[in-house]
Structure 1
Amino acid sequence: MVKHWFLNVCIATALLQAVYHAVRVLVSYRVLALGGDAVTIGVVTALFSLAPLLVAVRIGRAVDRRHAAAVLRTGVLLTSLGVLVIAVSGDLIVLGLGNVILGFGQILVTVAGQGFITLLSPPGELDRGFAGLTLGVSIGQAVGVPLVGVIAAGSSDGGVVETTLALTVMGVVALAAVPFAWPIRERPQPAGPPTPGDRQSVFSMISTTGMRPAVFSSLIVLASVDVVVAYLPVLGHEFGFSVLLVTLLLTARTAASIVSRAFLPWLLTWVPRSKLLVSATLCSALPTALLPFVPHPAVMALLLVVAGFFWGIGQPLTMTWVAGLVTAANRAAALSLRLTGNRLGQVLIPLAAGAAAGVAGTSSIFVITGGLLGTAAVSTWRAVSTS
């Protein structure tokens, strides 16, 4: 039987992730409409991750101290505010500010959601809990992106893509998460003062065997998804694809992640965890690198389905991997450390991608991303082979 708290976390996550993923696609089009280019998109995309990068572990500590509910509620409110600022932005500076606010909201919601899984899940159920949580992420992405694609396509005149109406709708979706996020509560803190060994330092956690390759694999997968979300609209624009077609291609990737996450508990009974962890980056590297060289929607959809399937496996498994490397009192902090790595990748890789696009064209972004996925596969293989 599905627990009430778990269902609420998954529904709130699905609604809010629909907002994050859809708005980030719209931001790329809004940057272009405001006179920006591929380099500008890289900078604005990095702003989403830059400021929250500094506070992720502190947020995790707050969740470990049983403040997950307050963190989640604050994240919902900041998400709504960020979407509003982006929707009314008339220049790139205000747009960038809105993306920073949205990024803060996203990190709060993400840390709180993962924290509830570690705090409230029964022992031995982390894989199932994280699979359900990330399934909510994928479902939200699958609904949000095509929804704004239809709205933007219907409100545009064939020239500049009009994004204000679609952003307004996403603001309403963010507010719809309120009745699901507000009732969730943590269990009371166990009586008695914490022992000196309860809290691990960031250095202690990152020095734990397996932590660095786990974080590296996670950040490369998430940054790869970000690169595809941010630059597939640019690539589609170069190929002459409509905004609706681009959003459908992105939805194909998301749908594949839904399938892999829905069947992850079953896959774990048949395929060793180590092989699934390696496959997350190994089997998505080539499809990502090939995207700019096959300007046919059906072939690109197939490549995105393959990449999306294996990316869908990677995120929940690295969550369990990271959470299992530390004590129970440090799991949210460790997951926040993983998110810090993710955000670092989300800052540096889009900036590098934007620079590469300015020099070598948009296609170079996907080739470099494929190479990074291959590097992460080697790192993960070495880690799981020696553990």
Structure 2
Amino acid sequence: MLPSRPGSALTRAFARVNPQIFSLIAVSVLAHVTMSGGRVSASLFALQHGGSGFSAGIAYSLYGLLPALLSLHMGRWIDRIGPRIVMRSSLVVMIFGLSLPYLWPILPVIFVSAALCGFGFGTYMLAANVSVSYMAFKHEGDRIGMIGWLQLGNSVSSVVGPTLVGAVIDNHGFSQAFGTLALIVLGSLVVSYRVHLPDGTRDANRGEGGQSIVRTVFTNPRLLRIYLLAMTVSLSWDGFNFMVPVLGHERGYSATTIGMVLSAFAVGTFGIRAALPWLSRHLSEWRMLCLSFGLTALVFFLLPFASFSFLLAGLGFLFGLAAGVGQPSILNLIYRAMPAGKAGEGAGLRAMMGNFMGLTGPTVYGSIAALFGAVPVFLLIGCIMSISSWQAHHGYRSSVASA
């Protein structure tokens, strides 16, 4: 028998795709452009209008503050009224948040805008991810690929957003930049009414009698393992993005070199997420996590000792390949393990834990690096990811035994 050609495999993969995912990606790309661009605009405004680096850090961090505090409640809201209404309501919140600095471009308003936009986008993406759990797929593994494709759209907009606002700020000022972003979100809202977005609501007669997901997770070793591994995914992601510039600064690397390493990471995540529909047909979530964490550990062990820029970029690309499968695999495990009708609450708890790691992780990394240098941080994360790979292997063995 002749081996199947890559083109035919790609054709079969597209044939299995639920068309709703493309509508969701289209709306999400427009929404995420404003998130990535808004963070840059808020930080630059704080720096250029009498603010300090500390003020810029506050403006940037405020985008993640409310999602870190409220994601669990946001997930319950999604379960109660369905993701479609939540997505559209979240876009309205973002439009309002971006309109404020367009009308009153002052630093306190920038802070309020950052909090509102972060809350709106965090809620939107939570609902968008949950909506994938309502989609029909012939093969359960295809759902992982579609979650990856949804995040693939975010990868594209992460490049477009900062480039766009930078050009608008240079030519027309900050007020017009925020106004442009508000118009883009308005376009996203209009598109959401022109396409069919997936929806679903919780059945009040199903589930576990209203038991809190937090209690369910912490009394279920299988679920607890999934959520702890979700935290290590965030830990490694934030560790790489925060510590590579720190390592580069310690060793006198140019900004171009550091940027090249981070760009290679982005290319790796883009490539693996594009291939997820095919990969998920051949490997289970636990297998992908085991390999992903193992490769991540290897990268973190090697990064401090890579002395050439091309080696650093190569390791960044490898980490992108590893990191790109983490969140989609975790989310699909959560959707499959959740009690009936609690997909939103389950995803909200994961988002809350991930945002908490994003708020606290860089502070811990920076403190260790200030005392002992960057190398111990990389080695510490490498050890944590080695343990995570071992735990993912245990998860795989348990899933096989219970099958």
Shared fold by TM > 0.5? yes
Identify the match of residue 252 of structure 1 among 254, 258, 264.
Answer: 264
Note the alpha carbon deviations across 1:136-177, whole angstroms, 9 max, x for none: 323432443366358759988xxxxx9988777655544442
Cα distance change, pair 5–273 in 1 and its aligned pair in 2 (3 A) = closer
131-140 vs 341-350, which moves further: 131-140
d(CA) in 2 for partners of 1:245, 1:27: 26
Q: Which residue of 2 aligns with 1:159?
A: none
d(CA) in 1 for partners of 2:332, 2:231: 15
Q: Is the CA contact (8 Å cut-off) linking 2:43 and 2:56 kept in structure 1?
A: no
d(CA) in 2 for partners of 1:229, 1:117: 28
The yes-or-no answer on 1:135 pairing with 2:146 is no
CA RMSD of aligned residues (A): 3.9
d(CA) in 2 for partners of 1:255, 1:373: 22
Q: Is the CA contact (8 Å cut-off) linking 1:285 and 1:371 kept in structure 2?
A: yes
d(CA) in 2 for partners of 1:364, 1:115: 37
d(CA) in 2 for partners of 1:240, 1:90: 36
Note the alpha carbon deviations across 1:103-129, whole angstroms, 9 max, x for none: 31232012111221112x116555423
Q: Which residue of 2 aligns with 1:177?
A: 188
Identify the match of residue 60 of structure 1 among 66, 75, 79.
Answer: 75
| Number of positions where the alignment pairs a residue of Structure 1 with one of Structure 2 | 376
Q: Which residue of 1 aligns with 2:27?
A: 12
Report deviation, 1:180. Answer: 3.0
Identity %: 19
d(CA) in 2 for partners of 1:65, 1:8: 23
The yes-or-no answer on 1:278 pairing with 2:290 is yes
The yes-or-no answer on 1:328 pairing with 2:345 is no
- Amino acid aligned to 1:277: L
Q: Which runs of 5+ in 2 are unaligned?
A: 1-14
48-57 vs 141-150, which moves further: 141-150
- Amino acid aligned to 2:159: V
Alignment of 1:298-337 (within 5 A): 298-337=310-349
d(CA) in 2 for partners of 1:58, 1:376: 28
d(CA) in 1 for partners of 2:193, 2:59: 31
Cα distance change, pair 129–270 in 1 and its aligned pair in 2 (3 A) = closer
In the superposition, the TM-score normalised over structure 2's length comes to 0.76
Q: Which residue of 2 aligns with 1:382?
A: 394
Q: Is the CA contact (8 Å cut-off) linking 1:199 and 1:329 kept in structure 2?
A: no
Note the alpha carbon deviations across 1:37-65, whole angstroms, 9 max, x for none: 6x984x66654333323322222222222
Q: Which runs of 5+ in 1 are unaligned?
A: 157-161
Report deviation, 1:221. Answer: 1.6
Q: Is the CA contact (8 Å cut-off) linking 2:226 and 2:334 kept in structure 1?
A: yes
Report deviation, 1:311. Answer: 0.9
Report deviation, 1:130. Answer: 3.9
- Larger of the two Rg values belongs to structure: 2
Q: Is the CA contact (8 Å cut-off) linking 1:117 and 1:126 kept in structure 2?
A: no
Q: Is the CA contact (8 Å cut-off) linking 1:215 and 1:342 kept in structure 2?
A: no
Report deviation, 1:367. Answer: 4.5
d(CA) in 2 for partners of 1:276, 1:54: 30
In the superposition, the TM-score normalised over structure 1's length comes to 0.78
340-349 vs 303-312, which moves further: 340-349
Note the alpha carbon deviations across 1:346-374, whole angstroms, 9 max, x for none: 22212322333444455655444444333
Alignment of 1:17-32 (within 5 A): 17-21=32-36, 23-24=38-39
Q: Which residue of 2 aligns with 1:201?
A: 212
Q: Is the CA contact (8 Å cut-off) linking 1:219 and 1:343 kept in structure 2?
A: no
Q: Is the CA contact (8 Å cut-off) linking 1:44 and 1:99 kept in structure 2?
A: yes
Q: Is the CA contact (8 Å cut-off) linking 2:126 and 2:348 kept in structure 1?
A: yes
164-173 vs 342-351, which moves further: 164-173
Q: Is the CA contact (8 Å cut-off) linking 1:44 and 1:96 kept in structure 2?
A: yes
Report deviation, 1:304. Answer: 1.3
d(CA) in 2 for partners of 1:293, 1:81: 47
- Amino acid aligned to 2:154: G
Identify the match of residue 35 of structure 1 among 52, 76, 92.
Answer: 52
